[in-house]
């Protein structure tokens, strides 16, 4: 039962939930959480393929780079959210619509 | 034994780390940390030296290494290569360093950056010891750069003074030229042999993996590093300026240890010098020895005289390495470290006294200028007597250490010249012997002007006093180490150190080049050796005494009028006083040349390139007129039509732009889904 | 079922359920803690894939770093006393539409792809291999990523400090 499909299914479910989170939340931090879920599910895929498919260790290395990118992304995103909050006293993304029309 | 060496090396590093971070808050500003560390290194290295001497084995060596970097095809090991050479050198470095640490308690007393000074001294000791101990060229290069940076930091220690900051920069940049050669040499060696390890290099060269022109090139390129660090002609210009640093630094770095690193490197690498490379080394060394000595005669700054003297003595050592008088060169390195460090400490003691006295009487002026001194003999007896001992040693008077080593070098050079068929090699001993007279002359000129005669400035003289014990004890220790029997033990004959422990332990090394060629790199006939030994001895004593007597005749008895004499040889005198205008020549050629080249490039840019561009511009303009007409009627018409259509669309579509980021995401997502479904089906 | 498989099943369900809590919870602080559980679940799954190094990295960076950052974000943007504040949501139907569309595509891909043959590699440690790979074949990405991290660091500091300059 602990086979490639199990991991792919878990990964697919979490990926879907991540997309859903991004669309559903109005809170910018919530959207960030959705992004993290997506990145994690992708990582799980890479690592699962590294084990079950003949690609050597490259899957794990890609996963490491994704984790590092996620860390930078989270830091930058939080900094943006903080400065947004200071400017507007809100982090509701639906209220940030200067770019419309 | 390796563990002991490891401690010797790392203790000063620990002291550096402690002092640089928390030195300020420690009692006495942390000087005892550095002193304790280097003291412990001294004790440990003495243990090593004791073991080596009792072992009495000229072939003793110990090698231990660890894997440091292992990157696929590139491997780098780090380790220690300890032989007699390294042990003696380590002991010398830690001894001189320790004495100077102690001396600095008195000299640097009250300096606002006291703790930083000690931190730098510790860092320097660490890197210098590493340079001596490491077993591979890469590590040596790293340590080499570290001592360079310490030198830079300490020369510019009084960085608020412009001249000091500039001197630091000059030292760094001039050294960079030499170090660049060193780096290229390293790459040549690595390219051919794929290793930096000295022992592997030795074996590989013996097998002939690096030979002929490339071997000579590698030797000369590596020597370029030594030229920079040991201030040899033509890169000697930084060392006199380096005297801007505090005097203990001049004694430690710019007299005894760092500048000798170049000589040490040559000793380590002597196995890979081909005959041509050796000749380059020998002639640069010999020429430097004479050339720097002639400048030292006319200088009036006490430290600059010593600086040029250092360059000259280093030239001797380099020359010795070049003619294969390896043992003599290294011997001179050790004895020179003792007496030159002593000379600098003595001059520091004088400068210390003069500058304090100046402060007391409110006089402005240069405390280093010997024209303001005179008659200090009575006021500073310890400084005077130790100074005289060092001067006798450097001049090569029997019963002092310098005599033994200098005589060995001169004898070796003479024997080498006599064994070669080409008479041009006689230039080398001539350089050496003439420099010996001059050395004796300028040293005694300095002594007479400083310690004898009438005081030049009465008021200044009255406030001069002897330095504190922390300064005089190191000086006396070094003076003791200038006595001949320390180096000739177990025999006590004063004329040669051939039977002494030092020359026994440091014997002529195995030459990988000779193994490769299957014959000695150069020949020295036994008759020449014998002749040179006996006659070199006599000539060098006579020359040294001549120099001293001349100095007395000029400056003490005044049988020869100095002013009239300099008037007669005016052109030569000004040439020497201005250091052969080397700074000016470099300024006018390299620095100016670069600026002129820049101007040429700028002119080229302005006229040629800009001209082309302008021409192209004009041609384009003519074209444009026609183009414009076409544009206006044909193209614009089409464009306007397109724009109108787009505008109409845009009016409708802008409604979709809600500014809601999630709407955009959803849109992008659905688009992606659509594309995937279309491609799958 | 073997105990190993039961444990796997438990971890998988926990991971998915906590991811669902992240998605549906109306309190942002609940989402944050559910995210913690989800990250831990992923770390545990990595262990099943013989990626011990990745599991530890996951805990160190995601749980120890990113999650803490997110919690900071939650706290600092809502005030410490207001963490229970409800998050207004977008329309559920629209969001579900997006999610389901993606699910459909994934399903399509999983069922239609020609999969590579599956190996049964033994369980083995990979930390050493990763270390060697980073310093050989992956040296350039490794260096680039370090520059990227530096850039992110400076950028984050700059963005967060911009306020002070104006004052």
In the predicted model, is pLDDT for residue C141 greater than 60? yes
The whole-angstrom separation of Cα B186 and Cα B170 is 24
Give me the pLDDT at residue B580, please: 77
The strand ranges marked E within B43-151 are 61-71, 74-83
The whole-angstrom separation of Cα B396 and Cα B404 is 7
* Chain B, nearest residue to A98 by Cα: B659
* Chain C, nearest residue to A12 by Cα: C106
Average pLDDT over residues B189-203: 87
Q: Which fold has domain C1-80?
A: 1.20.120
The whole-angstrom separation of Cα C50 and Cα A47 is 9
**CB–CB of A100 and B658 under 8 A?**
yes
Q: Model confidence over B563-577: pLDDT tens digits?
A: 777 777 777 777 777
**This model's pTM is above 0.80:** no
Average pLDDT over residues A49-55: 83
Give me the pLDDT at residue C88, please: 64
Q: Model confidence over B415-460: pLDDT tens digits?
A: 888 888 788 888 888 888 899 889 998 898 888 888 887 777 777 7
In the predicted model, is pLDDT for residue C67 greater than 50? yes
Strand partners, B75: B70
Instruction: List, as ranges, residues 62-81 from C with C-beta within 8 Å of A.
Output: 62, 65-66, 69-70, 72-74, 76-77
CA torsion, ordered B43, B392, B378, B366, to nearest 10 deg: -80
Angle, nearest 10°, between helix axes B326-361 and B401-419? 140
The whole-angstrom separation of Cα B99 and Cα A59 is 60
What residue segments make up the domains of chain A, in order of their start?
A: 4-91
**ipTM above 0.85 for this complex:** yes
Out of B669, B676, B677, closest to residue C98 by CB: B669
Which of A68, A88, A89 is the best mutation test for C, with the most CBs of C within 10 A?
A68
Give me the pLDDT at residue B169, please: 87
Strand partners, B77: B67
* Chain B, nearest residue to A99 by Cα: B659
Residue C142, min C-alpha distance to chain A (Å): 8
DSSP state of B656: G
Dig out the tokens for C21 from the structure.
Answer: 């809590």
Dig out the tokens for C25 from the structure.
Answer: 């919870």
Chain B contact partners (≥3 CB pairs within 8 A): A, C
Chain C contact partners (≥3 CB pairs within 8 A): A, B
For residue B338, give the nearest of B266, B256, B399 by alpha carbon.
B256
Interface check C105 vs A, CB under 8 A = no
Residue B558: count of CB within 10 angstroms of its CB:
11
**CB–CB of A96 and B665 under 8 A?**
no
Q: Model confidence over B287-333: pLDDT tens digits?
A: 999 989 888 888 888 888 899 999 999 999 999 988 888 888 899 99
The whole-angstrom separation of Cα B249 and Cα B153 is 10
Q: What is the biggest distance separating any 2 CA atoms in chain A, rounded to whole angstroms?
A: 53
Average pLDDT over residues B365-378: 80
Q: Tell me what the pLDDT averaged over chain B comes to.
A: 86
Q: Which residues contact B459 (CB under 8 A, 6 or more apart)?
A: B361, B363
What CATH number should be reported for the domain whose range is A4-91?
1.10.287.3510
**CB–CB of B665 and A22 under 8 A?**
yes
Q: Residue written as tokens 């320097």?
A: B124
Whether residue B234 is preceded by a cis peptide bond, meaning omega within 30 degrees of 0, is yes
Average pLDDT over residues B33-56: 90
The radius of gyration computed from the CA coordinates of chain A, to the nearest angstrom, equals 17
Assess contact for B237 and B194: CB atoms under 8 A.
Answer: no
Give me the pLDDT at residue B592, please: 82
For residue B30, give the nearest of B90, B127, B104 by alpha carbon.
B104
The whole-angstrom separation of Cα B137 and Cα B182 is 10
* Chain B, nearest residue to C103 by Cα: B673
What residue segments make up the domains of chain C, in order of their start?
A: 1-80, 124-167
CA torsion, ordered B312, B313, B318, B321, to nearest 10 deg: 150
Out of C101, C109, C112, closest to residue B669 by CB: C101
Residue A101: alpha-carbon gap to chain centroid: 29
For residue B396, give the nearest of B475, B297, B496 by alpha carbon.
B496
Q: Which residues contact B617 (CB under 8 A, 6 or more apart)?
A: none
Residue C81, min C-alpha distance to chain A (Å): 16
Q: Residue written as tokens 């025999």?
A: B491
Q: Model confidence over B420-430: pLDDT tens digits?
A: 878 888 888 88
Give me the pLDDT at residue C83, please: 47
DSSP string, B479-493: HHTTBTHHHHTT---
Dig out the tokens for A75 from the structure.
Answer: 């830091």
């Amino acid at each position: 039962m602990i086979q490639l499909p199990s991991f792919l299914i878990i990964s697919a479910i979490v990926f879907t939930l991540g997309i859903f989170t991004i669309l559903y939340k109005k809170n910018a931090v919530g959207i960030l959480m959705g992004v993290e879920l997506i990145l994690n599910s992708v990582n799980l895929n890479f690592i699962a393929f590294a084990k079950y498919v003949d690609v050597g260790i490259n899957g794990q290395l890609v996963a490491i780079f994704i984790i590092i990118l996620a860390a930078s992304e989270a830091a930058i995103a939080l900094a943006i959210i903080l400065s947004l909050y200071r400017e507007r006293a809100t982090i509701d993304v639906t209220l940030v619509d200067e770019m419309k029309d | 034994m390796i563990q002991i060496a490891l401690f010797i090396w790392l203790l000063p590093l620990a002291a550096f780390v402690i002092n640089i971070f928390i030195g300020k808050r420690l009692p006495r500003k942390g000087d005892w940390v550095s002193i304790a560390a280097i003291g412990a290194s001294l004790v440990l290295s003495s243990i090593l030296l004791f073991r080596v001497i009792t072992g009495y084995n000229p072939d003793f060596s110990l090698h231990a290494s660890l894997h440091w970097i292992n990157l696929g095809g590139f491997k780098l090991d780090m380790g220690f290569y300890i032989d007699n050479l390294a042990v003696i050198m380590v002991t010398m470095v830690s001894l001189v360093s320790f004495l100077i640490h102690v001396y600095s308690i008195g000299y640097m007393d009250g300096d606002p950056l006291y703790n930083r000074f000690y931190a730098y001294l510790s860092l320097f000791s660490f890197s210098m010891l590493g340079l001596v101990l490491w077993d591979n060229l890469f590590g040596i290069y790293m340590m080499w750069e570290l001592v360079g940076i310490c030198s830079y930091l300490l020369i510019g220690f009084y960085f608020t003074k412009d001249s000091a900051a500039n001197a630091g920069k000059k030292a760094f940049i001039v050294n960079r030229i030499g170090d660049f050669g060193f780096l290229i040499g390293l790459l040549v060696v690595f390219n051919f042999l794929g290793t930096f390890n000295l022992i592997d290099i030795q074996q590989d060269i013996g097998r002939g993996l690096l030979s002929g022109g490339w071997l000579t090139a590698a030797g000369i390129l590596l020597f370029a590093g030594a030229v920079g660090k040991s201030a040899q002609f033509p890169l000697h210009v930084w060392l006199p300026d380096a005297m801007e640093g505090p005097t203990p630094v001049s004694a430690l770095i710019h007299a005894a240890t760092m500048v000798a690193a170049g000589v040490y490197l040559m000793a380590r690498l002597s196995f890979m010098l081909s005959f041509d490379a050796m000749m380059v080394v020998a002639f640069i060394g010999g020429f430097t020895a004479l050339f720097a000595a002639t400048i030292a005669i006319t200088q009036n700054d006490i430290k600059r005289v010593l600086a040029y003297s250092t360059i000259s003595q280093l030239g001797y050592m380099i020359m010795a390495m070049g003619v294969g008088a390896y043992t003599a060169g290294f011997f001179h390195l050790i004895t020179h470290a003792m007496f030159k460090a002593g000379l600098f400490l003595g001059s520091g003691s004088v400068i210390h006294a003069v500058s304090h006295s100046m402060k007391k009487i409110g006089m402005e002026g240069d405390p280093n200028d010997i024209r303001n001194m005179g008659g200090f003999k009575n006021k500073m007896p310890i400084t005077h007597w130790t100074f005289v001992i060092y001067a006798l040693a450097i001049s090569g008077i029997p019963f002092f250490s310098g005599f033994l080593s200098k005589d060995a070098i001169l004898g070796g050079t003479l024997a080498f010249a006599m064994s070669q068929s080409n008479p041009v090699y006689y230039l080398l001993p001539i350089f050496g012997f003439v420099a010996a007279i001059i050395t004796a002359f300028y040293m005694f000129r300095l002594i007479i002007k400083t310690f004898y005669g009438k005081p030049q400035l009465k008021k200044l003289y009255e406030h001069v006093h002897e330095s504190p014990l922390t300064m005089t004890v190191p000086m006396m220790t070094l003076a003791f180490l200038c006595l001949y029997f320390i180096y000739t033990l177990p025999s006590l004959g004063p004329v040669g150190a051939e039977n002494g422990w030092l020359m026994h332990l440091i014997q002529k090394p195995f030459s990988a080049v000779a193994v490769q060629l299957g014959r000695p790199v150069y020949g020295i006939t036994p008759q020449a050796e014998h002749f040179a030994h006996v006659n070199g001895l006599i000539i060098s004593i006579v020359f040294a005494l001549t120099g001293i007597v001349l100095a007395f005749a000029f400056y003490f008895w005044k049988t020869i009028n100095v002013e009239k004499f300099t008037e007669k040889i005016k052109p030569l005198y000004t040439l020497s006083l201005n250091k052969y205008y080397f700074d000016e020549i470099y300024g006018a050629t390299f620095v100016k040349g670069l600026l002129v080249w820049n101007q040429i490039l700028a002119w080229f840019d302005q006229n040629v390139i800009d001209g082309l561009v302008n021409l192209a511009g004009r041609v384009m303009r003519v074209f444009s007129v026609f183009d414009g007409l076409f544009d206006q009627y044909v193209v614009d018409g089409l464009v306007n039509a397109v724009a109108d259509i787009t505008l109409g669309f845009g009016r409708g579509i802008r409604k979709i732009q809600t500014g809601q980021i999630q709407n955009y995401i959803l849109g992008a997502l659905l688009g992606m889904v659509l594309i995937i479904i279309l491609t799958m089906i | 079922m073997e105990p190993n498989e039961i444990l796997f099943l438990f971890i998988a369900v926990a991971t998915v359920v906590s991811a669902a809590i992240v998605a549906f919870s109306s309190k942002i602080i609940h989402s944050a803690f559910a995210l913690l559980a989800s990250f831990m679940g992923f770390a545990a799954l990595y262990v099943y894939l013989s990626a011990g190094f990745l599991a530890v990295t996951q805990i160190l960076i995601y749980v120890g770093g990113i999650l803490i950052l997110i919690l900071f974000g939650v706290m600092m943007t809502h005030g410490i006393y207001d963490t229970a504040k409800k998050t207004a949501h977008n329309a559920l139907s629209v969001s579900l539409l997006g999610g389901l569309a993606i699910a459909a595509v994934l399903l399509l891909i999983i069922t239609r792809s020609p999969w590579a043959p599956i190996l049964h590699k033994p369980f083995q440690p990979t930390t050493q291999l990763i270390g060697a790979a980073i310093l050989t074949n992956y040296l350039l990405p490794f260096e680039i990523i370090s520059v990227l991290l530096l850039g992110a660091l400076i950028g984050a500091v700059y963005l967060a400090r911009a306020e002070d300059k104006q004052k």
